[in-house]
């Protein structure tokens, strides 16, 4: 996969994209990431990329020319790429794992990191295919959202995580929260590891984990269950949870 990022601060990406799993994915050529400094596409003497808004008002607006020319450069490089062009902004569609999976199927993605109070509307009208947000809050720029989204996408590219890890994840908690994890020691300051995990009984362990995932999701994020397709096994465990609760609450 090719990922191109338009930003005023390319150095910001050095840390996140040159460490750990993303670093390894790049070394293995599973993903090529390139940053472009929007300022390099400014044609004026002071290399500015923003200007005062038509119609007046406070603040500055990111201009059209540098962004169009940067996109031209990228399209040339891939000789007329049909890449999705994603603008990071708080008004966008909220990013989630479903979108991460969708983007992970693409061969080429372009991200535009906006700044200032706004961006000339003609960028949206002519270039942008997707407006994406990472949540209902405002940051100083789109860089940190791009880091988060690119990380979420890259870990889904085949070969980036261990095949075992990714396959397990897909089947086990599709739309559920993770179950609790423990490692040695089996007792720490009076806190014990659940007995079932020490039993070596794989079927019981599997069922305990599934139940924990379902319980956690029910308690912490019930909204996730509304759009989930339950397996027959999950429905069985949910009914057991329901019966246990009835007994507990005497109803």
- Taking the complex as a whole, the smallest distance from the CB of residue 147 to ligand 4G0 amounts, in Å, to 11
Please identify, using beta-carbon distances, which residue of 25 and 128 lies nearer to ligand 4G0. Answer: 128
Q: Which residue is nearest to ligand 4G0 (CB)?
A: 114
Please identify, using beta-carbon distances, which residue of 9 and 172 lies nearer to ligand 4G0. Answer: 9
- Taking the complex as a whole, the smallest distance from the CB of residue 185 to ligand 4G0 amounts, in Å, to 41
Binding mask 30-69 for ligand 4G0 (x = CB under 6 A): ----------------------------------------
Residues with a known catalytic role: 90, 117, 155, 170
Q: By CB under 6 A, is residue 87 in contact with ligand 4G0?
A: yes
- Taking the complex as a whole, the smallest distance from the CB of residue 117 to ligand 4G0 amounts, in Å, to 7
Please identify, using beta-carbon distances, which residue of 112 and 176 lies nearer to ligand 4G0. Answer: 112
- Taking the complex as a whole, the smallest distance from the CB of residue 126 to ligand 4G0 amounts, in Å, to 15
Q: What is the rounded distance in angstroms from the CA atom of residue 90 to the CA atom of residue 215?
A: 32
Please identify, using beta-carbon distances, which residue of 138 and 219 lies nearer to ligand 4G0. Answer: 138
Q: What is the rounded distance in angstroms from the CA atom of residue 206 to the CA atom of residue 27?
A: 35
Size of the site for ligand 4G0 (CB under 6 A): 17
- Taking the complex as a whole, the smallest distance from the CB of residue 152 to ligand 4G0 amounts, in Å, to 13
Place of tokens 């988060």: 148
Binding mask 119-158 for ligand 4G0 (x = CB under 6 A): x-------------xxx-xxx-xx--x-------------
Task: Give the chain as a DSSP string.
Answer: -EEEEEES-GGGGHHHHTSHHHHHHHHTTS-EEEEEEGGGG--STT---EEPPTT--SS-EE-HHHHHHHHHHHHHHTTS---EEEEEEEEEEEP-HHHHHHHHT-SEEEEEE--SSEE-HHHHHHT-SEEEESSS---S-SHHHHHHHHHHHHTTSTTSS-HHHHHHHHHHTTTSPPPP---S-SEETTEEPPGGGGS--HHHHHHHHHHHHHHHHHHH-THHHHT----HHHHHHHHHHHHHHHHHHT-
For ligand 4G0, the binding residues (CB under 6 A) are 87-90, 114-115, 118-119, 133-135, 137-139, 141-142, 145
């Amino acid at each position: 996969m090719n990922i191109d990022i338009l930003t005023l601060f390319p150095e910001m990406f050095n840390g996140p994209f040159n460490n750990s799993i993303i670093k390894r994915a790049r070394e293995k050529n599973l993903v090529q990431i390139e940053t472009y400094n929007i300022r390099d596409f400014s044609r004026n003497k002071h290399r500015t990329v923003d200007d005062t808004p038509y119609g007046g008002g406070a603040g500055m607006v990111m201009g059209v020319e540098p962004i169009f020319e940067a996109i031209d450069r990228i399209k040339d490089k891939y000789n007329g790429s049909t890449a999705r062009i994603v603008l990071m902004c708080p008004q966008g569609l909220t990013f989630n794992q479903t979108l991460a999976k969708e983007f992970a199927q693409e061969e080429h993605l372009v991200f535009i990191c906006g700044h200032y109070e706004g961006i000339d509307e003609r960028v949206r009208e002519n270039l942008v295919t997707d407006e994406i947000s990472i949540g209902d809050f405002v940051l100083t720029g789109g860089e940190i959202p791009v880091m988060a989204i690119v990380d979420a996408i890259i870990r889904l590219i085949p070969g980036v995580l261990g095949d075992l890890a990714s396959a397990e994840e897909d089947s086990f908690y599709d739309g559920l929260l993770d179950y609790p994890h423990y490692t040695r020691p089996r007792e720490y300051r009076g806190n014990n590891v659940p007995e079932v995990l020490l039993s070596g009984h794989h079927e019981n362990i599997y069922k305990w984990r599934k139940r924990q995932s379902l319980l956690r999701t029910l308690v912490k994020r019930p909204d996730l269950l509304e759009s989930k397709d339950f397996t027959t096994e999950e429905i069985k465990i949910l009914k057991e949870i329901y019966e246990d609760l009835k007994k507990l609450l005497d109803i």
